Amino acid sequence: MAGAPLVLVMLVAAVGVVAAERGGGKLRQGYYEQSCPRAEQIVKDYVERQIPLEPSVAATLIRTHFHDCFVRGCDASVLLNATTGGGEAEKDAAPNLTLRGFDFLDHVKALVEQECPGVVSCADVLALASRDAVGVIGGPFWRVPTGRRDGRVSIKQEALDQLPAPTMNFTDLLASFRAKGLGVADLVWLSGAHTIGISHCNSFSERLYNFTGRSGPGDADPSLDAEYAANLRRTNCTTPTDNTTIVEMDPGSFLTFDLSYYHGLLKYQGLFQSDAALITDDA
């Protein structure tokens, strides 16, 4: 039964995705069975070939999928570029500046287009590729209903206003999720995606250097394990202004989808304030 919690994690992730859809009731399994029967297999084959060569892409795919779904539903609006003479797009918002893997998605989409021009949405390609990538790095398989429609509107401010921030406390995180029709369980399980991937130091350096606003180094967040904080300051984020160094979100296991993220939380080794927030409430 060791794998059961992982299955629950991703089943709820899938439920959360569907809940975030616009017109989610129109989604169904096998949506492309008649119009493009090989679509899902084409995505799966490419992901299974490429992810072993660049395993870190799995984390950015599922993060991109989450950031897409949390703003305007799962409509691939996070993939749109700003229009000439128009406002900036979701992609230009600070939380999305570190997203990558766009070339990966473009290549998958091109392969599907060769098979069935103008049939499969970018939103479905992103949802399927995210699921398949997680499977390649040790996570479970979950069923992805398809039939999403690509959006044509992408607004930077909406991403800034709606995406949960790594500095949020439990109350703010839960409010953010409830605004999307999600609850405590969804918050905890979806946070488990931090079992893979990396972060830049500037996303959490305040926890290491100036948490209470006092001057001087070493004023670390008391909710962060002291030895873990000291090690981060010594070997990774050596200055408060470092915005280029990257750190594993789940040390020693950041390329494997497993339960160690939760084990780390219980040792007060969650990297972000939003991670640490999960053990501040009895729920």
Is 106 labelled as part of a ligand binding site? no
How many H helices and E strands in the chain? 12, 2
Give yes or no for a contact between 145 and 65, defined as CB atoms under 8 angstroms apart.
no
Whether 67 is catalytic is yes
186 is in an annotated binding site: no
Task: Decide: 260 and 197 in contact? Cβ < 8 Å.
Answer: no
**28: how many CB neighbours lie within 10 A of its CB?**
10
State the catalytic residue, choosing from 65, 67, 200, 263.
67
For residue 239, say whether it is annotated as part of any ligand binding site.
Answer: no
Alpha helices in 163-278 (DSSP H): 170-178, 184-191, 206-209, 226-235, 260-266, 273-276
Distance CA 237, CA 189 (A): 28
Task: Check the annotation: does 71 bind a ligand.
Answer: yes
What tokens appear for 61 in the block?
A: 């795919």
Strand, coil or helix: 225: coil
* Exposure on the CB side of residue 81, measured as CA atoms within 13 A: 4
Q: Which helix (H) or strand (E) is 31 found in, with range?
A: none
For residue 103, say whether it is annotated as part of any ligand binding site. no
Nearest to 260 by CA among 196, 208, 201: 196
According to the annotation, is 258 in a ligand binding site? yes
Q: Is 161 annotated as a binding residue?
A: no
250 is in an annotated binding site: yes
60 annotated to a ligand binding site: no
**Annotation: binding site:** 68, 71, 73, 75, 77, 90, 164, 194-195, 250, 258
Question: Binding site for heme b: residue ranges?
Answer: 194
Active site residues: 67
Binding residues for Ca(2+): 68, 71, 73, 75, 77, 90, 195, 250, 258
Binding residues for substrate: 164
